[in-house]
Amino acid sequence: MKTCISSAFIVGGGIAGLSAAIALSRAGIRCDVVEIAEAPLGSSIGISGRAAEALAELGVYDAARGLAHVWEVGANVPTVSDAEGRQLSPGPTRPTWPGAIESIGIYRPKLLEIMSEKARRLGATIRRGLTVRDFRFVGDAVVVTTTDGERKRYDLLVGADGIKSTMRASLLPDAPSPAYAGQLSIRWMAPGPALPDEGWFVSPVGQLGFYSHPEGTIYVAAHVDMEEEERLSDEEVHEVYLRLLNSISAPQVVELRKRYTRDAELIATRFESILVPPPWHVERAVLIGDAAHATTAHLGMGGGMALEDSVVLGQCLEGAATLPQALEDFMKRRYERVRTVVETSRQLSRREQENADPAGNQKLMTEAFNVLAKPY
């Protein structure tokens, strides 16, 4: 099928940008990608439900699964236990459907490497250490100038540059700013073999959850309440993290504590979220992924929504006669779905801070997963 455009410039080389490069390249659209970071960073990312099918549609699921933690279809994850290891909740019910594939958790830099290789094989160019200097709409094109001085014409400009998106600020200056959710996220790739009974553990200090990776590491995620004005140094992050580990006596976490050392690489970020009101497009430009709808990690669906965005954008560009129609179709298919993720995640973050009953959290998550079980 002939697409309504032939070229696209993509700002951002993370999950959203690379998946867009793959989806659009597969549709026959020439793609150039720029990413300001010289090398990919991160810990682990979970891809579940229909988002795993998006990964398969992009043609990279099998390669990613071979390097990933795998959850069975329909598995109730994650379980929630108290600090002593007594189960408080079996985890949300995960709906299934005919042909559903397994959810995975993969080291994010590895996934980006797989996706970069796929995009390049399809003809996309990916340049690091660069971003957009300026752009302007000229008739039936958008003229983009990069920070190395190169200027080219494209049919479409895709802003996939994350929660702090400069593209969002340029295209939609009246859009809301990311809102702080009241919690600090701390992630750690712990060394050593897998531990039994993976899941989440709750203590008065915060929440901690983990799952193993096949290459001999364990992804450990933590949420700690923190006042908006508070800023922690690296040393203070380690102090908070050690206090959390010491507050949980479940045997699995005691073992994790033994593996922790002061030189452990902790990735600490403030939980923020944003849901840009529709439309996310202006003339020949569109926002996708965290640039349009960043979420806290409480549903584990942020990366998955970016993958779905890209697949749907590719489908809309193939299925519409004109670019405006394609972008309108894209908005109709994406907004309510990502709204469910962002708003439910915000609710879960607030409930954690209020020490709400985990069974109520499980109910909220189950309701959201039932919505997300519908095809994208």
Tell me, yes or no, whether 193 lies in a domain: yes
Contacts 24+ apart (CB under 8 A), 320-323: 320/4, 321/4, 322/4, 323/4, 323/5, 323/155, 323/156, 323/284
Q: Are residue 281 and residue 337 in the same domain, yes or no? A: yes
β-bridge mates for residue 266, sequence order: 188
Q: Are residue 104 and residue 163 in the same domain, yes or no? A: yes
Q: Residue range 303-315: average pLDDT?
A: 98
Q: Residue range 285-291: average pLDDT?
A: 98
Phi, psi at residue 198, to the nearest 5°?
-70, 155
Tell me, yes or no, whether 88 lies in a domain: no
- Model confidence at 1, in pLDDT bands (50, 70, 90)? low
- Convert the pLDDT of each residue in 72-90 to its tens digit: 998 877 899 999 999 999 9
> At 334, which CATH number?
3.50.50.60
Percent of the chain with pLDDT over 70: 100
- Model confidence at 215, in pLDDT bands (50, 70, 90)? confident
d(CA 280, CA 209) in angstroms, rounded, equals 34
Tell me, yes or no, whether 303 lies in a domain: yes
Q: Are residue 164 and residue 57 in the same domain, yes or no? A: yes
Q: Are residue 337 and residue 190 in the same domain, yes or no? A: no
Q: Are residue 15 and residue 113 in the same domain, yes or no? A: yes
Q: State which of 272, 300, 317 marks the end of a domain.
A: 272
pLDDT of residue 74: 85
H/E/C letters for each residue in 100-127?
Answer: CCCEEEEEHHHHHHHHHHHHHHCCCEEE
Q: State which of 228, 244, 272 marks the end of a domain.
A: 272
Tell me, yes or no, whether 54 lies in a domain: yes
Residue type present at position 306: A
> At 234, which CATH number?
3.30.9.30
Domain containing residue 145: 7-74+100-177+273-372
- Produce one character per residue of 318-350: b if its CB has 16 or more CB atoms within 10 Å, e if not: bebeebeebbbbbbebbbebbebbbebbbbbbe
d(CA 123, CA 116) in angstroms, rounded, equals 11
β-bridge mates for residue 35, sequence order: 128
pLDDT of residue 317: 98
pLDDT of residue 272: 98
Q: Are residue 61 and residue 187 in the same domain, yes or no? A: no
- Convert the pLDDT of each residue in 99-136 to its tens digit: 999 999 999 999 999 999 999 999 999 999 999 999 99
Sheet containing 7-11: which strands, arranged edge to edge?
125-128, 30-35, 7-11, 156-159, 285-287, 281-282
**Structure tokens of 85?**
């290891």
Q: State which of 256, 272, 288 marks the end of a domain.
A: 272
- Model confidence at 93, in pLDDT bands (50, 70, 90)? confident
Q: Are residue 231 and residue 359 in the same domain, yes or no? A: no
Say which residues have a Cβ less than 8 Å from residue 293's Cβ, sequence separation at least 6. Answer: 274, 275, 276, 305, 338, 339, 341, 342
pLDDT of residue 76: 76
Closest residue by Cα to residue 175 from 288, 272, 279, 270: 279
**Structure tokens of 148?**
């190395």
Has residue 189 got a pLDDT over 90?
A: yes
Q: Residue range 277-296: average pLDDT?
A: 98
Q: Are residue 40 and residue 164 in the same domain, yes or no? A: yes
- Model confidence at 179, in pLDDT bands (50, 70, 90)? very high
- Chain-wide mean pLDDT for the chain? 96
Tell me, yes or no, whether 91 lies in a domain: no
Percent of the chain with pLDDT over 90: 95
pLDDT of residue 319: 92
Closest residue by Cα to residue 168 from 54, 288, 17, 3: 288
Q: Are residue 45 and residue 121 in the same domain, yes or no? A: yes
Q: How many CB atoms lie within 10 A of CB 261?
A: 8
Domain count, the chain: 2
**Who wins on pLDDT, 359 or 62?**
62
Closest residue by Cα to residue 24 from 110, 106, 125, 101: 125
Tell me, yes or no, whether 93 lies in a domain: no
Distance spanning both ends of the chain, measured CA to CA: 20
Residue in the structure block whose two tokens are 């179709």: 329
Q: Are residue 139 and residue 199 in the same domain, yes or no? A: no
β-bridge mates for residue 145, sequence order: 134, 151
d(CA 154, CA 48) in angstroms, rounded, equals 33
- Model confidence at 91, in pLDDT bands (50, 70, 90)? confident
Alpha helices in the chain (DSSP H): 15-26, 50-57, 61-65, 108-121, 166-171, 234-246, 251-259, 290-293, 302-319, 323-353, 358-372
**Structure tokens of 164?**
């702090």
Q: Are residue 105 and residue 247 in the same domain, yes or no? A: no
- Convert the pLDDT of each residue in 228-260 to its tens digit: 999 999 999 999 999 999 999 999 999 999 999
- Model confidence at 2, in pLDDT bands (50, 70, 90)? confident
Q: Are residue 352 and residue 334 in the same domain, yes or no? A: yes
Quick one: CA dihedral 329, 334, 337, 343, positive or negative? negative
Q: Residue range 350-356: average pLDDT?
A: 96
- Model confidence at 309, in pLDDT bands (50, 70, 90)? very high
